[in-house]
């Protein structure tokens, strides 16, 4: 029996989604081996590889369909028939969420992001939020009849690791003491622990994620594990509150490697631990960032429907490369690359996009905000302030199409909104300012330890989160640390040299003189004195060269996303 073309196309797209996610799981499955072998460079390579799997398979399916089809099939009725056939295939399909986003991506690739209409895509899911049955039990359940110590012992014994424990009895005792201190008499009434069977790997750490159920409350329960110099495993922290777990799932962290054949079920469990996290955040955190992008767009549409404020220019100093706007009631900003850059910005649009891609694929170490990239993004025209529309048409006219009903932006990034660091420190009291300066310097050092040099270190390019954490968010001048040539300023040859308009020494393209940071960063005496006290090493070329030597020998520091009070 000959298969109808619409059904054949639907099957081809779903087969492509299966192949993509199968490869995604293959790379993820190697996380335990990389962790146990302490193959940290392999960890970073796998992160980059897994991110690129999706686009690679979308391209393969796109080419396949172009070979199968011709222009006579590019009709509305045929496209709607393909979508209807695809919906039938998704009934009882365990990864319908990923498959719907894959369908959208293939469609956009075929039509080069044109002819994008809601009825032809899965702007909303066809499955109504169905939670699929997990192919194996998602959770392990532990009851406390034998006491806290014995319960934790069983939990650790069930972990899949093949390497030796540094001192498992010590770790069990520490966890027991922490739980008794935090929950006290409630534990004596009995409790249950439910743990996700699969560990969550990221960088040098692995996380066991679950929850504790007691008589009158349910709390997250997370154990953070590391390896020592001998390659033995040990528990480094115990986290048992929602805020603490939310920090582990931060938007400024790399994506987890967790084996999830039915991600909707895993995300549903995680959302119970972190009710303030959205579906887009959780899907993205577990590595399904393309579906996270779909969910973010759905959340944006929902917010538009329940709000009535207008988009406006974002707070802060305007950038030379990006125009940034936001909706006051919404927690994200929208960033549009300008058509022309200021003369001092020696780059083009392709360079800027490459920098944002670098950040997406790199270890963000809790200090760089993740972004989602969109094409042909449509906004309701009546929600735009005249000031914003005038600016966009002035600085990026090639990317803006305005009609009576909508504003279409051909390319933009969405990024979490934060308080610009320069605004934050202007309003901060003495204690908050000290903490902010400490955070800013720590951010630069932690980025450098991860082989990232921020480039443009002006305060306006950093933001402050609700946890008062300083995050870098302007990437057009970012580079790998090992590419930078840190130099000391040579002494002047003659007294007149210091008065000259031009430097008396040669300056190469990648040369950076840390001594100059004082000049363009420390314009406030309050900030200057704190910097000299807390981070004077940042002004020394030898400090940066030392970090470069660490990178050269494969020594990548990791900054762990939990509070000191949660560590042992």
Residue whose pair of structure tokens reads 């057009």 in the numeric block: 476
Q: Distance between CA atoms of 541 and 140, rounded to whole angstroms?
A: 51
Q: Distance between CA atoms of 491 and 493, rounded to whole angstroms?
A: 6
Q: Distance between CA atoms of 108 and 115, rounded to whole angstroms?
A: 8
Q: 311-331 as b/e, with b when 16 or more CB fall inside 10 Å?
A: bbbbebeebebbbbbbbeebe
- How many Cβ atoms from other residues are within 10 Å of residue 361's Cβ? 17
> Nearest Cα to 273, choosing from 248, 241, 236?
241
Q: Indicate which residue of 6, 171, 370, 476 is catalytic.
A: 370
Q: Distance between CA atoms of 540 and 311, rounded to whole angstroms?
A: 43
Q: Distance between CA atoms of 110 and 108, rounded to whole angstroms?
A: 5
* DSSP3 helix / strand / coil % (the chain, rounded to 5): 50, 20, 35
Cβ-proximal residues to 436 (8 Å cutoff; 6+ apart), any chain: 421, 424, 425, 428, 464, 468, 470
> Nearest Cα to 250, choosing from 207, 186, 214?
207
Q: Distance between CA atoms of 21 and 283, rounded to whole angstroms?
A: 14
Q: Distance between CA atoms of 57 and 210, rounded to whole angstroms?
A: 33
Q: Collapse the DSSP code of 415 into the 3-class scheme (helix H, G, I; strand E, B; otherwise coil) and give the result.
A: strand
Per the annotation, the verdict on 171 as an active-site residue is no
Q: Which helix (H) or strand (E) holds 408?
A: strand 406-416
> Nearest Cα to 303, choosing from 332, 277, 334, 272?
332
Q: Collapse the DSSP code of 485 into the 3-class scheme (helix H, G, I; strand E, B; otherwise coil) and give the result.
A: strand
Q: Distance between CA atoms of 265 and 529, rounded to whole angstroms?
A: 51
Kindly list the strands in the beta sheet with 470-472, ordered across the sheet, starting from the edge strand earlier in the chain.
Answer: 419-420, 462-464, 470-472
**Catalytic residue numbers?**
370
């Amino acid at each position: 029996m000959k298969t109808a073309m619409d059904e054949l196309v639907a099957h081809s797209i779903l087969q492509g989604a299966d192949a993509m996610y199968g490869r995604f799981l293959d790379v993820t499955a190697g996380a335990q081996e990389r962790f146990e072998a302490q193959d940290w460079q392999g960890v970073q390579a796998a992160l980059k590889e897994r991110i690129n799997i999706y686009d690679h398979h979308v391209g393969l399916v796109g080419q396949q369909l172009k070979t199968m089809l011709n222009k006579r099939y590019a009709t509305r009725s045929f496209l709607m028939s393909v979508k209807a056939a695809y919906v039938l295939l998704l009934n009882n399909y365990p990864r319908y969420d990923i498959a719907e986003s894959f369908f959208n991506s293939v469609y956009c690739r075929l039509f080069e992001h044109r002819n994008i209409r809601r009825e032809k895509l899965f702007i909303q899911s066809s499955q109504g939020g169905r939670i699929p049955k997990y192919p194996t039990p998602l959770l392990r359940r532990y009851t406390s009849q034998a006491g806290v110590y014995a319960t934790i012992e069983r939990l650790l014994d069930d972990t899949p690791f093949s390497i030796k424990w540094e001192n498992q009895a010590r770790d069990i005792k520490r966890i027991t003491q922490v739980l008794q201190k935090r929950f006290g008499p409630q534990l004596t009434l009995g409790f249950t622990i439910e743990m996700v069977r699969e560990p969550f790997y990221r960088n040098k750490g692995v996380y066991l994620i679950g929850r504790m159920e007691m008589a009158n409350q349910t709390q997250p329960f997370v154990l953070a594990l590391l390896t020592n110099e001998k390659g033995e495993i040990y528990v480094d922290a115990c986290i048992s509150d929602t805020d603490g777990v939310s920090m582990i799932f931060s938007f400024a962290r790399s994506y987890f490697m967790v084996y999830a054949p039915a991600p909707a079920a895993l995300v549903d469990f995680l959302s119970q631990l972190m009710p303030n996290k959205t579906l887009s955040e959780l899907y993205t955190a577990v590595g399904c960032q393309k579906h996270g992008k779909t969910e973010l767009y759905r959340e944006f549409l929902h917010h538009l429907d329940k709000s009535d404020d207008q988009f406006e220019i974002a707070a802060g100093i305007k950038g030379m490369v990006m125009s940034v706007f936001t909706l006051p009631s919404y927690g994200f900003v929208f960033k549009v690359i300008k058509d022309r850059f200021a003369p001092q910005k020696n780059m083009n649009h392709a360079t800027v996009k490459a920098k944002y891609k670098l950040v997406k694929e790199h270890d963000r170490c809790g200090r760089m905000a993740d972004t989602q990239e969109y094409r042909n993004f449509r906004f309701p025209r009546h929600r735009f302030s005249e000031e914003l529309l005038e600016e966009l048409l002035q600085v990026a006219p090639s990317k803006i199409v305005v009609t009576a009903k909508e504003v279409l932006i051909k390319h933009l990034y969405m990024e979490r909104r934060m308080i610009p660091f320069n605004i934050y420190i202007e309003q901060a009291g003495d204690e908050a300012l000290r903490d902010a300066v400490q955070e800013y310097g720590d951010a630069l050092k932690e980025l450098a330890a991860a082989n990232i040099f921020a480039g443009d270190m002006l305060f306006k390019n950093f933001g402050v989160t609700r946890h008062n954490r300083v995050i870098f968010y302007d990437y057009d001048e970012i580079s790998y640390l090992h590419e930078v040539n840190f130099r000391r300023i040579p002494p002047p040859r003659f007294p007149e040299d210091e008065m000259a308009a031009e430097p008396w020494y040669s300056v190469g393209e990648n040369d950076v003189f840390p001594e100059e940071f004082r000049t363009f960063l420390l314009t406030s005496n309050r900030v200057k004195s704190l910097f000299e006290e807390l981070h004077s090493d940042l002004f020394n070329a030898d400090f940066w060269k030392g970090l470069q030597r660490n990178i050269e020998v494969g020594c990548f520091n990791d900054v762990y996303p939990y509070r000191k009070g949660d560590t042992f």
